[in-house]
């Protein structure tokens, strides 16, 4: 594994730890987040 994408729901809190850990193994992290939304017509 050379590249790993990390996403979570409504937070990016785990990204710094993942980047730090992945760096030790030469793995690149692609950070992402899934954002909860609600549709409300006007």
**What local confidence, expressed as pLDDT, does residue 5 receive?**
97
Q: Could you tell me if residue 41 is inside a domain?
A: no
pLDDT tens, position by position, 1-42: 999 999 999 999 999 999 999 999 999 999 999 999 999 998
Structural domain boundaries, residue 8? 1-34
Number of residues that make up the chain: 42
**Could you tell me if residue 23 is inside a domain?**
yes
Instruction: Look up the pTM and report it.
Output: 0.76
- In three-state secondary structure terms, 15 is helix
Let me know if residue 16 belongs to a domain: yes
Residue 42 lies in a domain: no
- Phi first, then psi: give them for residue 22, nearest 5 degrees: -65, -35
Alpha-carbon radius of gyration of the chain:
14
Q: Phi-psi category of 39—alpha, beta or left, where left has phi over 0 and alpha has psi -120 to 50?
A: beta
Q: What is the pLDDT of residue 2?
A: 98
Give Cα 10 to chain centroid, integer Å.
10
Q: How many domains does the chain have?
A: 1
What pLDDT does 42 receive? 81
């Amino acid at each position: 594994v050379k590249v790993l994408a990390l996403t979570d729901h409504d937070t990016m809190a785990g990204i710094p730890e993942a980047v730090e850990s992945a760096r030790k193994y030469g793995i690149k992290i692609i950070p992402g987040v899934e954002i909860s939304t609600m549709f409300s017509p006007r």
